[in-house]
Chain A
Amino acid sequence: MSISTQGGPERRPSVVKPAAGAKPTSPGGGKPSRSGGGKGPRKPITPVKVAQQRSWGPILMFVAVGALAVGIIGYGAFAVIKGSESWEDRAAGIDGITNYRETDPGMLTANHKTGPQTYKTTPPVGGDHNAAWQNCMGDVYDAPIANEHAVHSMEHGAVWITYKTGLPQDQIDTLASKVRGNEFMLMSPIDGLSNNISVQAWGYQLKVDTADDDRIDSFIRALRINATQEPNAGCSSGVTATGTTPRDLGNGTQQGS
């Protein structure tokens, strides 16, 4: 005991190494009372100890790798879950939105019909419609348009903003700024609308009272294009005229959707 402590201070705290190296030569002298005393003397057990000591390296390595793996997987899973919120979830999170795809899917037929159609909701959110769609290239219409064309636009993925005729101009301008320059958006007034503003996409509707209600933006972000029934369908080459009477193409009924 006294020898090892004396030798240590001479060369700094490297006491640990000479003590470990001294084990085989002096098993009973240095640290017999702790653990080496019982197992040290026998030969067959000594290699077992060596094997266990060597295995700590891999164990530590695997623990480290495992922790790294869990960390990476955990972060990845977090990122995936956070980033993968579907547009349906986003829409469902909008306060006051009505999802007719859930509550009344039966009314969301999509056949082409000529002439005026009857819709369950005002404004409509889907259903049979005219073969021609209303142009929805960010068009801001200053007069009412035909439901039968607008429904077709929504089938293509457009968000249709409607407001009660007579809404103050500054609110109309605010709404128009959300529409102009953005394809898959269109906007028009409706006479006698129940609320000041009603925003709709295929199967979805949100009614609000003021143009600066930020739920309008949330609705657009969630549903514009995403609500389409025909991915990659367009908004140009549609009807650009106003008027609530649908403009039939040709003479008879059309096929397709």
Chain B
Amino acid sequence: MSSATTSSEPSTDGSEEPAPRRGPGTLWLALAIVVGLTLGYAAGLLTPTVTAPGDDSVEAGFVRDMSTHHAQAVEMAMIMHTKAQDDQVASLAADIAITQQGQIGTMSAWLRDWNLNPTGEQPRMAWMPNSQGSLTNGLMPGMATPEQLTQLRSATGVEAERLFLDLMLTHHLGGIHMAEEVVDLSDNEDIDWLAGTMVASQQREIQAIQVIKTELPAN
């Protein structure tokens, strides 16, 4: 239709032959732009969903497991904070509780972004290769046992502070191990960033713990 009408017009001018070809060309161009924009928009909408880590991914496994690992650090730090006598221990406990609870919030928001449940289908630590045997009574590396937590709750004074520092040192070593693993395994920038800071900050805290231990009064 349109090509026929446009072709009839140039015949009168005679010299302008390219003009008629621009008519349908413009239409196609407009269509191409519309299709391209639609395609791009749809792809943009769907890409985050399609490329988000899956339920059994390394990223999801790490986020779930590290959240649980962190939660126990928060628990021990809160137990200690209520009864710490030494200023350094009280400060360290507050730092650990606030920092790690905040990181739990960050990680749980990622799970929501990825449209994943807090509880995965995979067992704990399954995201880590050769992780068989790393669970002890359901506890991940470095985690305190229920008995140790009971001990920490009932202990007082310097005894409680020493126990806390020892438990937290062990806890940090387990957490650093998991964080280092995920930095190796995952290319996710957010994961690598947060896990990288976990490794660095917990290593610094281990050094601080060792210093504080030497400065605590005996007994």
Residues of B within 8 A of A232 (CB): 104-105, 108
Interface-facing stretch out of B86-94, B118-126, B203-211: B118-126
Render A131-168 as a binary contact track against B, CB cut-off 8 A, 1 for contact: 00000011110000000000000000000000000000
Q: Chain B nearest CB: distance from A31 CB in Å?
A: 24
Closest Cβ neighbor of B78 among chain A residues = A237
Q: Are B43 and A72 in contact (CB under 8 A)?
A: yes
* B124 x A181 contact (CB < 8 A): yes
Q: Chain B contacts of A58 at CB under 8 A?
A: 28, 32
Q: Does A224 contact B (CB under 8 A)?
A: yes
Cβ contact within 8 Å between A181 and B71: no
Tell me if B11 and A44 are in contact (CB < 8 A): yes
Q: What's the minimum C-beta distance from B119 to chain A, rounded to whole angstroms?
A: 5
Q: Which of B8, B71, B150 contacts A236 (CB 8 A)?
A: B71
Q: Are A138 and B138 in contact (CB under 8 A)?
A: yes
Q: Judge whether A183 and B7 touch: CB under 8 Å.
A: no
Interface residues on A, range: 35 or more
Q: Tell me the bound Cα distance from A226 to B116 in angstroms.
A: 11
Give chain A residues whose Cβ lies under 8 Å from the Cβ of B47: 76
- Residues of B within 8 Å of A237, CB to CB, are 75, 78-79
> Are A79 and B46 neighbours in the complex by a CB distance under 8 Å?
yes
Count A-B contacts at CB 8 Å: 114
Inter-chain contact A51/B24, CB cutoff 8 Å = yes
Q: Which of B38, B72, B115, B120 contacts A183 (CB 8 A)?
A: B72
The reply to whether the CB of A69 lies closer than 8 angstroms to some CB of chain B is yes
Main secondary structure of the interface of A (DSSP, over half): helix
Main secondary structure of the interface of B (DSSP, over half): helix
Task: Please name all residues of chain B whose beta carbon is closer than 8 Å to the beta carbon of A79 when the two chains form the complex.
Answer: 46, 49-50
Nearest chain-A residue to B36 (Cβ)? A65
Q: Assuming A51-B21, A139-B146, A180-B139, is B75 touching A224 (CB within 8 A)?
A: no
Residues on the B chain within 8 Å of A55, using CB: 3, 24, 28
Whether B46 lies near A76 (C-beta < 8 A) is yes
Which A59-103 residues sit within 8 Å CB-CB of chain B? 62, 65-66, 68-69, 72-73, 75-77, 79-80, 83-84, 87, 90
Could you tell me which residues of chain B, from 1 to 24, have a CB within 8 Å of some CB in chain A? 3-4, 7-8, 11, 21, 24
Q: Give the residue name and chain of the A residue nearest to B29 (CB).
A: A58
Kindly name the residue among B67, B104, B119, B124 whose own CB sees the greatest number of chain A CB atoms within 10 A: B119
Instruction: Establish whether residues A69 and B38, one from each chain, have CB atoms under 8 Å apart when the complex forms.
Output: yes
Contacts of B143 in A (CB 8 A): 181
Which residues of chain A have C-beta atoms less than 8 A from B24's C-beta? Answer: 51, 55
Q: How far is the CB of A117 from chain B (nearest CB, A)?
A: 26
Check if A183 sits within 8 Å of B68, measured CB to CB: yes
Determine whether B194 belongs to the interface, using a CB cutoff of 8 Å to chain A: no
**B72 / chain A contacts, CB cutoff of 8 Å:** 137, 183, 236
CB distance from B145 to the nearest CB of A (A): 10
Among B21-43, those with CB < 8 Å from A are 21, 24, 28, 31-32, 35-36, 38-39, 42-43
Contact call A65/B105, Cβ cutoff below 8 A: no
**A52: B residues at CB distance < 8 A:** 3
Nearest chain B CB to A55's CB is how many angstroms away? 7
Decide yes or no whether B101 CB sits under 8 A from chain A. yes
Please tell me if the beta carbons of A221 and B46 are within 8 angstroms of each other in the complex: no
Residue of A at shortest CB range from B32? Answer: A62
Residues of A within 8 A of B38 (CB): 69
Q: Which residue of chain B is the closest to A51 with respect to CB atoms?
A: B3
Which residues of A (5-51) have their CB < 8 Å from a CB of B?
44, 47-48, 51
B153 on the A face (CB < 8 A): yes
Sorted nearest first, the 10 A-B pairs with minimum C-beta distance are A76-B46, A181-B138, A236-B75, A225-B118, A180-B138, A183-B71, A69-B39, A221-B119, A224-B119, A181-B139
A contacts, CB < 8 Å to B: 44, 47-48, 51-52, 55, 58, 62, 65-66, 68-69, 72-73, 75-77, 79-80, 83-84, 87, 90, 137-140, 177, 180-184, 220-222, 224-226, 232, 234-237, 240
14 contacts across the A-B interface (CB closer than 8 A):
A44-B7, A51-B24, A62-B35, A69-B35, A72-B42, A73-B46, A76-B47, A76-B50, A140-B146, A181-B138, A224-B119, A236-B71, A237-B75, A240-B150
